[in-house]
Amino acid sequence: MADNRPKKHQEDDAMNGSKLIVPKKPGLSRRKAIKLMGAGAAAGLAAGPGFVRYAQAQSSEPIRIGFQVHRTGIGAAYGRWYERTTTAAAALINEQGGINGRKVEIIAEDDGTDPGRGAEVVEKFATQHKCDVGFGTLFSHVVMGSAPRAGELKLPYYVVSEGHHVASTGLNRYTFQPGITDVKSQVIAMAPWIAKNVGKKVCMIYPDFAFGHDHRDYFSAAIKAQGGDVNALIPIPPTESSFTRYFPQIPADTEVIYHVMVGPAVLTFVKELGEHFGSSHPALFGFIDSLEAVDLKSPGLEFLEGSYLWEAYPRFAGASPKPHDTFYREKVGVDANGASVSDAADISTFSHMFGCWETLFILKRAMESAGYQGPADKAKLIEATEAMTSFAEGNEHPQGDKQFNGKIHQCFGHQNITQVKSGVAEVVYRTTIEEGLYEPEGDYTKMAL
Amino acid sequence: MFLHLAVIAALFLAQFAASEYIVLMLTRIMVLAIFAIGYNLLFGYTGLLSLGHAMFFATGLYAAALGTTLMGLTVPAAFAFAVLAGLAVSLVMGVITLRASGVAFMIVTLMFSQAAFLTVLYFGEYTRGDEGIVIPDTIRKFAFLGFDVDLANAVLRYNLALAFLGCAIAFSLLIVRSRIGHILIAIRENETRTSMLGYDVQRYKLAAFVMSGTLSAFSGACYALMFAYAGSTLASIQYSIHPLLWTLLGGASTVLGPVLGTGLMFVLVDLASSYTNANLLMIGVVLILLVLFFPKGILGTIRERYWKWLP
Amino acid sequence: MAAAVLALSALGLSLVFGVMRVVNVAHGEFFMLGAMLAWWTAKMVPGGPLAGFMAALVVAPAAVGFLAFLTERLLLRRIKYDPEATIVATIGLLFVIQQLALSLFGADAKPVAAPFTYRIAFPWFGYSGYKLFVVVASVFILVGVWWVLARTRYGLIMRVTQFDRETATAFGIPVNTVYSAVFVAGAALVAVAAVLIVPIQQAHYLMGLDPLLMSFIVVIIGGLGSIKGSVIAALIIGMADGIISVFFSPTLASIIATLAVALVLVVRPQGLFGVTAR
């Protein structure tokens, strides 16, 4: 290809590794477009405009972390706490001298918990704010909508979502989830304990969309592997606000009800379940996702007494918390009950937001081992992240130690099963990391950078 | 005509002058402006206010996304498939919904769109419901008429979007200036009279509905293929209200109004998001102010006061 | 149960459409606001859930009614109750109210304690006593509204206005005042519904869409503007929904129900029980 464009553009293309189309004969769109605009389009394609070179970051400039936050929309309750945790972690990193001697600056933009706007926000981080990385997305659909844009714009993108999307290797080389275990691993890790201690005949109640389907598929397989059985599947459409009429579908021989409802209607769900069963009911096992940001002592939740919950990071510190747990709570501003220190009624999303904290410290470590100086070192940053294998428990990883699989860009940690006793969830079992491991489904490191 | 060419020329030149971010944003605006242009054919020129255009957008979106990922279609074939799907869906929907009129039409379209949204969730096995589908880069690289095209390339994508937008504007102009366009406007102004003049009103309304739905589906296909994602959020009620808002803002029943409205609303939301999170508030306030003070939108008001010739 | 809630939340919409011939898309947001205010009042008023509940029954309809009054005066009257412009304007209002609720009350789901808890135990399953109370209260309110419309002078005035605006004006009926009153009453009714329902559900700033769609369905099936039709439709839908969902997957049931409603509106725009709209 005879590229007679200005040298700068050629360099930019080389740097971005992008392939322009190769015009073998003139005139791409020969139809109406040409009639309307002359041969302009084809000329424009060859000329390759639009690329403005990244300003070479000075070493005194801060490292800019684009934080995609759900301030509005369905994820707003989580977004608020993600933001608090992120701010606290960034402040701590800066106190400790920043990353490679540079301060960290968090640039937060609301994505409305909308995949369309999320993609735009990623574009804005990469090209307008000139961020070094994108970070912090929770809701899976926003991750899915944004990740392709991050991949194209070659913006390293660290999500905190617990979805299986990253580990499925269906995204791209630039998208990571190093700070929180994915749902497939969570579910696999807990199935053995449930089968052994709670019951083998499981009735699953889950939202009828991707998040619920992940639970359905992974848990059904995992419980069967334990000699258990899912005796009924009750999918609930996302538009539902009352659940009473679904409960008669729960078979009488059910030993465990496994529920993973999410969204604003979950309290109703638990209350109505309580009204349906009264005091004699099958054992309950639920994901804390249903009750994040909700007080376990809320009216109507008495029914949860004695039931089991999955928690990534137990909300209640318990009688003898570890020093790094106390340290983390203090820095974020959360008390031993997982509520805000300034308002005891303001409950945090404790089992998810630690992911923001840990991801930022992982980013720091990756940038330091890559000797990261600016966007020109992006490839080195990606490779340094992929090269990591484990994270040790401590102030930087208060939830616990983790393994990281660089091939699938996903970390694996311990899961906690807690039981509600007088409105307080106490840990009854902590899974090992090995219980949550599964065969990798692909390999990101084979993709081009 | 000259004005429209000038707008397209300006958009073409913009890529040389504007920052990378503006170029990316303009790409998105141009793709969605096609949606608004489609919407305007029905709302602006024919006077039928649909609250369900998300279903057509989603038709194109999913036809393209599922066509490429599940059915193994190439990108050009997926575009064709999406247009056909849009044609089919809007034809069926048109035949049914056009039996209603006025407020009933609005609610019926809203209902069908909601059913379409739930259908996307129901077939979650294929659509991955709310989480959605990512179209892999390998599919988005293809050979077409002897060219190697890579939709991940920002420059190519910009000019492709511009070319598509140009076609949409030309198509819209063509319709508006044709006999069909005059009859559609006549229907908007006085349906009974038009009918008494011997025109088959129902048939013309259906034609407008199908053109509108198909353009919307085309825009959806562009969105899926260019930005590599399809998810149920893009089929929700919110995305039925967007084209209404854009069209009202720019000026209903002007050819360029929807384009202007789309661009303006994007810029507004983008600027505001640096200062406040009150995006919803802004959309709401803009809608209310438009209805109260500028029911004809920006270009509509300009046409009324200054440029009487504006199509 | 579902039927009572439906009828109650659809009542206001039906009333407003019946008399004013406009569709208020922000109806669901009035519902949400009522629920939010119930939570807020319950938090502010000391003396337990019952006192909070009673206070909310006053505060929520009053506040929502006032907002509706402003809406009617500043918005609907200025666009002359044009049906399509009203829909667009109330969509705008919907966003504004959602944002205000988010900014003022936050994004968390807010539980409200029921004024009393009593679980009625059957041998197979249990039922909440409060829910039964909601059903009874709904019936009272529906009968009350019906009585006002059918038996009092106010009802007569409303019916005349509904029948024909110009005739009403000719008879010296202050049509504008009637419109105001009806719009406020519609909003206040849905706020009361929200206060009753929120202990069963909980308040959340995005909760308005669901009751709105359901209300649409009820009002359409019942015949736009016919209160009797709305009640019958609510009963049918409340039960049919449960029955359909036994046979089909719930999401499919929702799809079928939505399509059925759309088709009813296409085939019989006046609804199943309505009279032909003028």
pLDDT tens digit sequence for B253-310? 888 889 988 988 888 888 777 666 666 787 788 888 888 888 788 887 788 777 777 7
> What range does the domain containing A165 cover?
63-181+352-412
Beta pairing, strands A416-421 & A424-430 = antiparallel
Query: Is residue C242 assigned to a domain?
Result: no
Q: What pLDDT was estimated at residue A304?
A: 81
**Greater model confidence, B87 or A49:** B87
Query: Is residue A289 assigned to a domain?
Result: yes
Chain A residues with CB inside 8 Å of C207's CB?
Answer: 241, 264
Q: Confidence band (pLDDT; 50, 70, 90) for A85?
A: very high
Q: Rounded distance, CA C178 to CA C185, Å? A: 10
Q: Give C76 to chain A, closest Cα distance, Å.
A: 28
Q: What is the largest CA-CA distance in chain B?
A: 56
Q: Rounded distance, CA B46 to CA B185, Å? A: 6
**In whole angstroms, how far apart are CA C6 and each of A416, B96, B237, C11, C218?**
41, 27, 21, 8, 7
> What range does the domain containing C52 cover?
2-207
Chains that touch C (3 or more CB pairs under 8 A): A, B
What percent of chain B shows pLDDT beyond 70? 97
Q: Rounded distance, CA A212 to CA A289, Å? A: 12
Query: Is residue C269 assigned to a domain?
Result: no
- Of the candidates B288, B299, B305, the one whose C-alpha atom is nearest the C-alpha of residue B264 is B299
Which residue type sits at C258?
A: T
Query: Is residue A437 assigned to a domain?
Result: no
Query: Does residue A175 belong to the interface with chain B, where contact is any CB pair within 8 Å?
Result: no
Q: Rounded distance, CA A334 to CA A320, Å? A: 16
Q: What is the largest CA-CA distance in chain C?
A: 63
> Does one domain contain both A151 and A72?
yes
- The residues near C99 (Cβ < 8 Å, ≥ 6 apart) are A72, B278, B279, B280, B281, B284
The answer to whether the CB of B113 falls within 8 A of the CB of B52 is yes
**In whole angstroms, how far apart are CA C274 and each of A12, A16, C268?**
68, 65, 9
β-strand partners of A67: A108, A135
Crossing angle of helices A115-123 and B20-40, in 10° steps, is: 150
Q: Determine whether the interchain pair B147/A22 forms a contact, defined as Cβ–Cβ distance below 8 Å.
A: yes
Q: What pLDDT was estimated at residue B54?
A: 93
Residue-wise burial string across A201-236, b where 16 or more C-beta atoms lie within 10 A, e elsewhere? bbbbbbbbbbbbbbbbebbbebbeeeebebbebbbb
Q: Determine whether the interchain pair C108/A268 forms a contact, defined as Cβ–Cβ distance below 8 Å.
A: no
Q: Determine whether the interchain pair A267/C111 forms a contact, defined as Cβ–Cβ distance below 8 Å.
A: yes
Q: Confidence band (pLDDT; 50, 70, 90) for B223?
A: very high
> Does one domain contain both A274 and A190?
yes
Q: Which of A384-388, A389-393, B61-65, B143-147 shows the lowest per-residue confidence on average (mean pLDDT)?
A: B143-147
Q: Confidence band (pLDDT; 50, 70, 90) for B224?
A: very high
Q: What pLDDT was estimated at residue A160?
A: 92
Q: How many CB atoms lie within 10 A of CB C242?
A: 17
* pLDDT tens column, A337-394: 888 888 888 888 888 999 999 999 999 998 888 888 888 888 888 888 898 988 888 8
ipTM score of the complex? 0.84
Number of domains chain A is built from: 3
Q: Determine whether the interchain pair A264/C127 forms a contact, defined as Cβ–Cβ distance below 8 Å.
A: no
- Of the candidates B283, B297, B281, the one whose C-alpha atom is nearest the C-alpha of residue B249 is B297
Q: Say which DSSP state C72 is in.
A: I
Q: Give A243 to chain B, closest Cα distance, Å.
A: 18
**Greater model confidence, A279 or A21:** A279
Query: Does residue C276 belong to the interface with chain A, where contact is any CB pair within 8 Å?
Result: no
Q: Rounded distance, CA C72 to CA C79, Å? A: 10
Q: Say which DSSP state C20 is in.
A: H
**Looking at the predicted structure, is the pLDDT value of residue A32 above 50?**
no
Backbone angles phi, psi at B285, to 5 degrees: -65, -40
Q: What pLDDT was estimated at residue C274?
A: 55
Beta pairing, strands A410-413 & A402-405 = antiparallel
Chain C residues with CB inside 8 Å of A241's CB?
Answer: 201, 207, 210
Region for A172 from its dihedrals, namely left if φ exceeds 0, alpha if ψ lies in -120 to 50, beta otherwise:
beta
The residue ranges of DSSP E strands in A141-198, in sequence order, are 157-158, 175-176
Q: Give A25 to chain B, closest Cα distance, Å.
A: 8
> Does one domain contain both A166 and A213?
no
Q: Which of A229-243, B11-25, C239-253 shows the lowest per-residue confidence on average (mean pLDDT)?
A: C239-253
Q: Rounded distance, CA A130 to CA B91, Å? A: 46
**Greater model confidence, C146 or B25:** B25
> Does one domain contain both A27 and A103?
no
Give the H or E element holding residue C121: strand C119-121
First to last CA, chain C: 34
* pLDDT tens column, C152-200: 877 777 777 777 777 777 777 777 888 888 888 888 888 888 888 888 7
Overall average pLDDT of the B81-88 stretch: 94
> Does one domain contain both A192 and A303?
yes
What percent of chain A shows pLDDT beyond 90? 8
Which residue type sits at B311?
A: P
Q: Determine whether the interchain pair A127/B136 forms a contact, defined as Cβ–Cβ distance below 8 Å.
A: no
Q: How many CB atoms lie within 10 A of CB A302?
A: 16
Averaged confidence pLDDT in chain A? 80
Q: Rounded distance, CA C72 to CA C55, Å? A: 26
Query: Does residue C250 belong to the interface with chain A, where contact is any CB pair within 8 Å?
Result: yes
The residues of chain C scoring below 50 in pLDDT are: 276-278
CATH number at residue A112: 3.40.50.2300
Q: Rounded distance, CA A209 to CA C65, Å? A: 37
Overall average pLDDT of the A308-313 stretch: 88
Number of domains chain C is built from: 1
* pLDDT tens column, A243-264: 877 888 888 888 888 888 776 6
Beta pairing, strands B147-150 & B141-144 = antiparallel
Chain B residues with CB inside 8 Å of A127's CB?
Answer: 19-21, 24
**Looking at the predicted structure, is the pLDDT value of residue B63 above 90?**
yes
Query: Does residue B100 belong to the interface with chain C, where contact is any CB pair within 8 Å?
Result: yes
Overall average pLDDT of the A94-98 stretch: 88
Averaged confidence pLDDT in chain B? 86
**In whole angstroms, how far apart are CA A88 and each of A91, A103, A108, A330, A384?**
5, 14, 14, 10, 25
**Looking at the predicted structure, is the pLDDT value of residue B2 above 50?**
yes
Interface with B, mutate which of C80, C90, C96 (most B CBs under 10 A): C96
Q: For C247, which residue in chain A has the nearest alpha carbon?
A: A249
> Where do runs of H (alpha helix) occur along B41-101?
54-69, 75-97
Interface of C with A in 61-80 (CB under 8 A): none
First to last CA, chain A: 23
Chain C residues with CB inside 8 Å of A246's CB?
Answer: 245, 250
Q: Give B278 to chain C, closest Cα distance, Å.
A: 6
Query: Is residue A446 assigned to a domain?
Result: no
